[in-house]
């Protein structure tokens, strides 16, 4: 039996309620990351990440933390900053095609990262409604800003099949599971939409390679607690 989004989202599992803020040592365990806005210094790579609908903190649990942990293993924790997008992540936002203010916030964070740390490799990433924010934010940017985006990574993309603004396809990876109704432009949360943690390694490899940073880590993954 298929259930409507409005029912299923209410009962989505919150896999981790760790903390309200995090540093790089908590990349795989915390639901909140403020590596850019906390002004902890410029890193070689900055990931701007938008969580999915109803997830906690500003990066959630289902895809963000396992991706960050794997990426830290590849590029080195000391080289990585992660910044979550603060936005309601509610059902009306999803049904509207992605929260408008959240999309604007994401675009502003990308610009802030590029301005504050001009040499950082900026990555735009999101899961589910967070993917909608990635698409929307990219459309808000001018060509010169978009050209500086190093890579784009989206898990469970509601806008699957649509270009991410003017970001080249070669810099973009959208990971969608077979049977994920959200990726099929539906509104039903089925099991395939909840298992993107299994793609953390694939995602990290793409992002690290796009930045020319693969292999700079120590090979010890930051722990992810489910």
> Is residue 83 classed as helix, strand or coil in its secondary structure?
strand
> Among residues 74, 128, 151, 197, which one is catalytic?
128
177 is catalytic: no
Of the residues 86, 103, 125, 193, only one is catalytic, namely 193
Burial 8-34 (b: 16+ CB within 10 A, else e): bbeebeebbebeeebebebbbbbbbbb
Say how many C-beta atoms besides its own lie within 10 A of residue 114's C-beta: 18
Selected catalytic residue, list 26, 135, 180, 197: 180
| Catalytic residue status for 159 | no
193 is an active site residue: yes
For residues 152-177, one letter each, b for 16 or more C-beta atoms within 10 angstroms of the residue's C-beta and e for the rest, the string is bbbbbbbbbeeebbebeeebbbbbbb
> Which are the catalytic amino acids?
128, 180, 193
């Amino acid at each position: 039996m298929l259930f409507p989004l409005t029912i299923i989202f209410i009962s989505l599992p919150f896999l981790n309620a760790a903390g309200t803020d995090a540093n790089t040592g908590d990349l795989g365990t915390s639901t909140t990351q403020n590596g850019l806005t906390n002004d902890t210094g410029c890193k070689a790579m900055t990931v701007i990440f938008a969580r999915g609908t109803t997830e906690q903190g500003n990066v959630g649990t289902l895809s963000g933390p396992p991706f960050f942990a794997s990426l830290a293993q590849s590029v080195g924790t000391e080289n990585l900053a992660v910044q979550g997008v603060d936005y309601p992540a509610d059902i009306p936002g999803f049904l509207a095609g992605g929260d408008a203010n959240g999309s604007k916030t994401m675009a502003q964070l990308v610009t802030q990262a590029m301005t504050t740390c001009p040499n950082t490799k900026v990555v735009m990433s999101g899961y589910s409604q967070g993917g909608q924010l990635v698409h929307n934010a990219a459309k808000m940017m001018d060509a010169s800003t978009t050209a500086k985006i190093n890579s784009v990574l989206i898990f469970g993309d509601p806008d699957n099949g649509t270009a991410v603004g003017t970001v080249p396809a070669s810099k973009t990876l959208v990971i969608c599971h077979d049977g994920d109704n959200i990726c099929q432009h539906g509104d039903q949360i089925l099991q395939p939409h909840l298992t993107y943690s299994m793609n953390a390694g694939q995602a990290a490899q793409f992002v690290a390679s796009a930045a020319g940073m693969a292999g700079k880590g120590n090979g010890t993954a930051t722990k992810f607690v489910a």
